Amino acid sequence: MHIVGISAVPISMSFKSQLRPIKRATAHVAEQLWSLGFGAEGKFAHQRVTRWKSPGGERVLIVAPHPDDEAVGCGGTLLMHVDCADTVCIVIATDGRQSTAVLDPDQMAYRRRCEAMDATRLMQIERLEWIGLAEGAWSVSTLKQHLGALIEAHQPDIIYAPSRIDFHPEHFQVAHSLALALADSGERRLRATRVRIYQIQVPLHPLLINLVADVTGVWPRCEAVLRAYASQTASLPWCRRQRRYSSLRYGTAGYAEVFWELSAQRYVALHRDSPEHWSTAFRGLRNFPLTDPVAYLAGLREQRRIKYQNDAMP
């Protein structure tokens, strides 16, 4: 029995190694198939989007629920802001300690902070505000206080923000905290600030997308930023596909990041109620592309409802 047990290990490993080329080929075929679909949609669908380029001189604040969400959601756009000499500040709300890449939560939090600092340096962004609340053990009132102080200090023209089009409870709570902080910032700040909702893992529906950034020219740098988050490299495959699909859908050169831009007042109106009442019908892209269309279709009814709610506002 002992001999059989020893020989079974290399047989199992050999079987897995034989499956890898099949899995890679299947993934490639699936991605090509979905890419054809997005390309066809882009050719025939009516698109009401603005092709974004910064005029320069803007003050930009990025609110990331976890370290790496800013790179995953809008890393290429941030690089373009820096290239246009905009003043950029990244805000990391929580410390990401619940990631399982490192078993000790304190060590995980420390590693993710180091990764965030490395990513910020790669983007040549001078300001990183590490709020770093303990993931899974923080209150909305505490984060709201921190965000309110940062909004007052930086007076942003643009805030890149998470939203209720998601399924992660902490993404919900951060969006809610930001809405409450904005609501308390005063009418002048509300009128002066635009909010750009970015995709983290759940794709935005074309009904909501009104701003597209062609990040093809900065994509190698963007990928380097994503790789700086070495503990989270599992997100790289779907990050690439998400940007390629957006590029095909909106006719850019190779990679695109998409946003739903709306006024701060409307962002507040959509996110000030308790996340307990928000839908969790959404699904994100996964590493293996076979089910990618499901991520774009899941929660479609809810995205339409949010769109109609926004359109009905005065």
Q: Which two tokens stand for residue 308?
A: 């109609």
Q: Which two tokens stand for residue 73?
A: 């959601």
Instruction: Read off the pLDDT of each residue in 208-224 and give the average, rounded to a whole number.
Output: 97
Number of Cα atoms under 13 Å in the Cβ half of residue 105: 11
| pTM score | 0.93
For the cut 90, the answer to whether the pLDDT of residue 47 exceeds it is: no
Numbers of helices and strands, H then E, in the chain: 11, 8
User: Residue 44: its pLDDT value, please?
Assistant: 86
Q: What are phi and psi of 273, to 5 degrees?
A: -75, 160
**Category of 99 on φ-ψ map: left (φ > 0), alpha (ψ -120 to 50) or beta:** beta
- Tell which CATH classification among 3.90.1150.10, 3.40.50.1580, 3.40.50.10320, 3.20.10.10 matches the domain 50-311: 3.40.50.10320
Confidence of residue 106 (pLDDT cuts 50, 70, 90): very high
Q: What percent of the chain has pLDDT over 70?
A: 95
User: Residue 7: its pLDDT value, please?
Assistant: 42
Question: Which amino acid is located at 179 in the chain?
Answer: A
For the cut 60, the answer to whether the pLDDT of residue 2 exceeds it is: no
Number of Cβ within a 10 Å radius of residue 265: 17
Query: What are the pLDDT digits (tens) for 119-173?
Result: 999 999 999 999 999 999 999 999 999 999 999 999 999 999 999 999 999 999 9
Contacts of 11-19 with C-beta under 8 Å, sequence gap 24+, read none
User: Residue 20: its pLDDT value, please?
Assistant: 79
Instruction: Read off the pLDDT of each residue in 246-252 and give the average, rounded to a whole number.
Output: 95
For the cut 70, the answer to whether the pLDDT of residue 85 exceeds it is: yes
User: Residue 12: its pLDDT value, please?
Assistant: 55
User: Residue 18: its pLDDT value, please?
Assistant: 72
Strand 211-214 vs strand 50-51: parallel, antiparallel, or unpaired?
Answer: parallel
Instruction: Read off the pLDDT of each residue in 66-78 and give the average, rounded to a whole number.
Output: 98
User: Residue 22: its pLDDT value, please?
Assistant: 82
Contact 262, 309 (CB under 8 A): no
DSSP, collapsed to helix, strand or coil, labels residue 131 as: strand
How far is Cα 122 from Cα 288, in angstroms, rounded to an integer?
Answer: 28
Q: Where are the alpha helices (DSSP H) in 84-198?
A: 105-122, 140-154, 169-183, 187-192
How far is Cα 193 from Cα 95, in angstroms, rounded to an integer?
Answer: 27
User: Residue 13: its pLDDT value, please?
Assistant: 55
